[in-house]
Amino acid sequence: MPIRILPDNVVSAIAAGEVIERPESVVKELVENSIDASARRILISIEGGGRKLIEVTDNGMGIPIDEVPLAVERYATSKLETEQDLFHIDTLGFRGEALTSIGAVSRMELITRSEGEELGTRLAVAGGQISAPQPIGAPPGTRVVVRELFFNLPARLKFLKSEATERHRIQALIARYAIAYPHISFRLMQEGREGFYSTGSGDRREVLAACYGLETAKSLIHLPEMEETAIRVSGFISPPSVHRGTRREITFFVQGRWIQDPSLAAAVIQAYHGLLMVGRYPLAVILLQTPPDFIDVNVHPTKAEIRFKDPSLVFRTVQRAVRGVLLGQAPAAQFHFESSWRPANLPPSSAIDPGWAMAEAMQPDLPPVRAQSSLPQANMPLLRAVGQVGAAYLVAEGPDGLYLIDQHAAHERVLFERMMSDFVNGKLESQQLLGPQTVELTHREAEMIEGNLTLIRSLGFEVEPFGKNVFRLRGVPAVLSKIDPEQSLRVLVEDIGEDEAPLASEFEARIIARVCKRAAVKSGQVLSSEEQRKLIRDLEACTSPRSCPHGRPTMIHLSVDALERQFGRRG
Ligand code: ADP
Ligand code: MG
């Protein structure tokens, strides 16, 4: 084919594709426009996961009548004038592309009334065709209605994820904006149901409760505003006891703009060094304010990535702020097996039984060392219970030395194997509650329960939907009968959405592992000699006794040989 200039409609489809990738992108652009227009209330309605309808209504400053046709032109913006302005951007938008792009790939309707004007204006764009603006009665503010997204791009439609995935993403997006803008009230309606609401009271912790649930929000540690360098850091971080299976809950805002930056997430994770288990991540909301010329936002059409002038300064500032607060609030309680056990003129660590490597497995950031790696595979030797230390570990003697057993991890393993086999045989027992109990969850948690009702019931939960995000509980799995029924249901929704579609069988195992974690004896619980012996017997009967369902070791081993070396009886 000869070289030629692309026709306008192809150019605009290509350009639109960069900005509008999926329903979530439409919502993002429209909400950003509302925020830029100083709205105090933003209502977002979604149908069909955003494919059928996305409607964003705000009470912001609106667009003056004579500027309405310009608003839907490409590269038309009220937020930027000169090239220099690009380095002092204080609005979320500035590229003047969003409305054009949305209009190019949907049937869009814009109704807006500027503050000082009597009448509003209505303008429609369908697949890039702009209609003539008409006067219309409207409240002050702006409403954009987007129907049939990608109706003219069937190929793009095919790449969209499920409606449920889009709904989750949109919900997460609105939650993020609500956190960044606590003074704005956000209401998200998904398929006619309220999916998110923030009051706009300005209280950020209140917004966090709407996002993460009351209990988690209460536990979050406030990061007081710190200004050591030119960068101001504030926000909320989780205490070491609250963690997640992914780093996705580490959120950053720079000048009120949500950004994705893996290296900043690493700064937060490093700050938790020694405080979290391998594979667990904190939850954090970090707000940064930098001098305007410290960042370059103009890196990517979706504006989700930015460049810092001095990335390592930002990294250090974030890490120091988080670490400082953590150490002040949560002194690291760790066992240092090596230093407390090893005598002063110690042999080099290579001379120590590899079983001691297990102690290090408890320290995060090192690759997880499985018990199997230093102990023979398969079952464990028969052990004689000797006693308990620190109300957390059982001491036992085996044919080849000393074993320390983590009572919580061991019990988790025992319960897990039992529950899995009962589950497979359809024999999981349920314990009736004295009276039915209602439990209120967040919208997201409720969706998760509703989507897995059959599985959840087969685990022994007698649960039924009971109004919006509310469930009625009549029975719980027998192993959970000792904990509060509401808590037992919450066990299921902890850390949900860690991955979008785990294999069905893994999903069951994961949920059962969670239940067992809650049901297992805690460390700190004193066990009678009878209980200690029983736990050791039960563990011996397990198929994989050496690790807990989450992969942590249940036991560490010190061989007679290593003992002799440690006491200097052997070279
Ligand atoms: P940008 O936000 O990058 O300027 P957009 O295409 O998103 O580009 O919007 C174009 C212009 O339309 C904006 O600069 C603004 O002046 C106006 N506009 C868009 N949405 C709104 C709104 N909700 N309220 C007021 N003005 C708006
Ligand atoms: Mg915009």
Q: What are phi and psi of 296, to 5 degrees?
A: -120, 110
Question: How far does residue 60's CA lie from ligand 1's centre (Å)?
Answer: 11
Question: How far does residue 243's CA lie from ligand 2's centre (Å)?
Answer: 35
CA nearest neighbour of 323 among 223, 205, 220: 223
Q: Give the model's pLDDT for residue 61.
A: 96
For residue 226, what are the CA distances in angstroms to 232, 237, 238, 322, 324? 6, 14, 18, 10, 11
Q: Give the model's pLDDT for residue 495.
A: 56
Instruction: Indicate which atom in ligand 1 lies nearest the CA of residue 141.
Output: 24
The ligand minimizing its distance to the Cα of 112 is 1
Residue of the CA atom closest to atom 1 of ligand 1: 96
Helix (H) or strand (E) holding 558: strand 555-558
Residue of the CA atom closest to atom 12 of ligand 1: 71
Which residues fall inside 5 Å of ion ligand 2, going by CB?
33, 93, 98
Residue of the CA atom closest to atom 21 of ligand 1: 33
The ligand minimizing its distance to the Cα of 28 is 2
Block residue for tokens 């790449």: 159
Spatial separation of the C-alpha atoms in residues 561 and 536, rounded to whole Å: 23
Q: What sign results for the dihedral spanned by CA atoms 340, 363, 513, 236?
A: positive
**Tokens representing 562?**
């290593």
Q: Using a cut of 0.85, tell me whether the model's pTM lies above it.
A: no
Q: Give the model's pLDDT for residue 505.
A: 54
For residue 289, what are the CA distances in angstroms to 119, 177, 204, 229, 252? 39, 16, 17, 11, 11
Q: Give the model's pLDDT for residue 506.
A: 61
Question: If you ran DSSP here, which 8-state letter would residue 185 be given?
Answer: E
Pairing of strands 141-147, 134-136: unpaired
Question: How far does residue 37's CA lie from ligand 2's centre (Å)?
Answer: 10
Question: How far does residue 36's CA lie from ligand 1's centre (Å)?
Answer: 8
The ligand minimizing its distance to the Cα of 78 is 1
Q: Give the model's pLDDT for residue 371.
A: 29
- Which residues contact ligand 1 via a Cβ below 6 A? 29, 33-34, 37, 58, 60-63, 71, 76-79, 93-100, 142
The ligand minimizing its distance to the Cα of 69 is 1
Q: What sign results for the dihedral spanned by CA atoms 223, 224, 225, 229?
A: negative
Instruction: Indicate which atom in ligand 1 lies nearest the CA of residue 142.
Output: 23
DSSP reduced 3-state for 249: helix
Q: Give the model's pLDDT for residue 444.
A: 81
Q: Give the model's pLDDT for residue 227.
A: 67
Of 20, 33, 146, the residue with max ligand 1 atoms within 8 A of its CB, to mutate for a pocket test, comes to 33
Instruction: Indicate which atom in ligand 1 lies nearest the CA of residue 76.
Output: 10
Pairing of strands 120-126, 129-130: antiparallel
Q: Give the model's pLDDT for residue 518.
A: 85
Residue of the CA atom closest to atom 16 of ligand 1: 78
Give residue 406's identity as a one-letter amino acid code: D
Give residue 44's identity as a one-letter amino acid code: I
Question: How far does residue 91's CA lie from ligand 2's centre (Å)?
Answer: 9
Spatial separation of the C-alpha atoms in residues 413 and 421, rounded to whole Å: 12
Spatial separation of the C-alpha atoms in residues 198 and 391, rounded to whole Å: 44
Question: How far does residue 285's CA lie from ligand 1's centre (Å)?
Answer: 27
Question: How far does residue 75's CA lie from ligand 2's centre (Å)?
Answer: 10
Q: Give the model's pLDDT for residue 516.
A: 87
Q: Give the model's pLDDT for residue 475.
A: 92
Question: How far does residue 78's CA lie from ligand 1's centre (Å)?
Answer: 7
Q: Give the model's pLDDT for residue 296.
A: 85
Residue pair 207/188 in contact (Cβ under 8 Å)? The answer is no
Instruction: Indicate which atom in ligand 1 lies nearest the CA of residue 91.
Output: 2
Question: How far does residue 169's CA lie from ligand 1's centre (Å)?
Answer: 23
pLDDT averaged over 10-residue windows placed end to end, the chain, 571 residues: 82 77 94 96 96 97 93 83 76 86 94 94 94 94 97 85 90 94 96 93 92 87 80 91 87 91 92 80 93 82 81 91 77 32 30 30 32 39 89 89 92 89 84 90 85 86 91 90 84 59 60 85 90 93 81 82 82 61
Pairing of strands 430-440, 120-126: unpaired
